[in-house]
Amino acid sequence: MIFAQKPSLDQINQTGKNTMTDHLGIVFTEIGSDHLTATMPVDERTKQPMGLLHGGANVVLAETLGSVAASLTIDLTKQICVGLEINANHLKGVKSGIVTGITKPIHLGKSTQVWEIKITNEQGQLCCISRITMAILDKK
């Protein structure tokens, strides 16, 4: 188990109320022993003018997953985690439905973490792959 904390999915979803996560319809759906999963609709909130899922929406889903997962591995009374860098490769366009992101750790260090996020369409096809680097900072 990589997660120091294991809140319920409802608790995680409640923390995103009235934020971009809520606005885009991102919903956490699974906490595994080594992963975190969330979904996002492909609709008027997340599409670009050509009718495809906006690459920025993919990045929001990826950053949300990586940031929340990283925060579950630390003692939040003593530390915080913030994003240092994120990248994304958009591999397949999505016009409708729901995409699913799953994040798994690549590196869990004392001061940095690296998480991989794979985003798939409803057919299970890889649409986007992302990697986020998180800084783990002591609270002052």
Residue by residue, pLDDT tens for the chain (140 residues) are 789 888 999 999 999 999 999 999 999 999 999 999 999 999 999 999 999 999 999 999 999 999 999 999 999 999 999 999 999 999 999 999 999 999 999 999 999 999 999 999 999 999 999 999 999 999 98
Q: Where are the domains of the chain?
A: 9-138
| Residue 70 · residue 131 · CB < 8 Å | no
Catalytic residues: 63
pTM: predicted TM-score of the whole model, two decimal places: 0.97
Please tell me the CATH superfamily of domain 9-138, with its number. Hotdog Thioesterase (3.10.129.10)
Alpha-carbon span 101 to 40, nearest angstrom: 8
Q: What is the DSSP letter of 34?
A: S
Mention every residue, 6+ apart, whose C-beta is less than 8 A from residue 34: 1, 2, 104, 105
| Residue 132 · residue 63 · CB < 8 Å | yes
What pLDDT does 140 receive?
86
- On the 0-12 / 13-18 / 19+ scale of CB atoms within 10 A, 80 is middle
- Per-residue pLDDT of 2-25, as tens digits, reads 898 889 999 999 999 999 999 999
